[in-house]
Structure 1
Amino acid sequence: MKCPFCAHPDTQVIDTRVAEDATFVRRRRRCGACDKRFTTYERPDLSFPAIVKKDGRRVDFKPEKLRASMDLALRKRPVGVEQVDSAVERIEEALLTTGMREIASNKLGELVMRELRRLDKVAYVRFASVYRSFEDIDEFKTLVDEVVRT
């Protein structure tokens, strides 16, 4: 690790600690040349698959966009932040474990709908009505009837 003060290429690790939530490692370092100390943080570099839109465009997966769409569907619904966090984590994990470099947007939408159905049926219907672009009331009624049966 190069020293941020003098750019010397050799630094020594003095102390290593794992964060409380175990998502990163904190290291205190000392420069062998200027003797100054600094802190570095190590996090895993996760590579999510690209999202292939219906029109063929490829866009980067953005966890904040996923969270925003779920929050919109869950607006004014009695679902806790921890439950939403867990659902987002399950979707991200599902994307990472596919091992694929690209995934169709409809597959991502299905993952979101599955999680929303677990969390709140009203939010599920809200999301599905926009996601599936219902053309008439009969399609909407069919979805609601399906949710009521389960």
Structure 2
Amino acid sequence: MAMSGGTEDGEPMGEMNTTPLIDVMLVLLIMFIITIPIQTHAVKVDLPQNSDSNRNENIDPVKNKIVVDANGNLTWNGAPVNEVTLTQYLEQTKTISPEPELHFQPDATAKYDRVDQVLAIIKRSNVSKLGFIGNEQYREF
């Protein structure tokens, strides 16, 4: 804190010492800043909850079968599906422990392009248990 001795003629100092006033103001400012509540900008979003009732009845916990027929139509355990539904089923099978087997059976007369599209969907879903069935139909005699 700065102190002034005044003038040499012995008269009292005519200026007010503002140093203690500034110190008090700084303490009050810091106390005010500390007591202000932190403002949070949050957006509440209601997310869907996973439950066992949301599981699809078309998914078998042991094995599932995808068939590509001669016309290129897909079936999942005998029920017709499209690519979006197939992707959802594959994602749901990954959540089951242990992961069920996936059997893939393309028809011998199905177009290769369609079979390749379905295999790409299966690969993107990272299914770990995949088996090809019906390969004997491709054997030459």
Give the alignment's TM-score, normalised by structure 2. Answer: 0.21
Q: Normalized against structure 1, the TM-score is what?
A: 0.20
Choose between structure 1 and 2: higher strand proportion.
Answer: 1
Considering Cα pairs closer than 8 Å and 6+ residues apart, tell me whether 1 or 2 has the greater RCO.
2
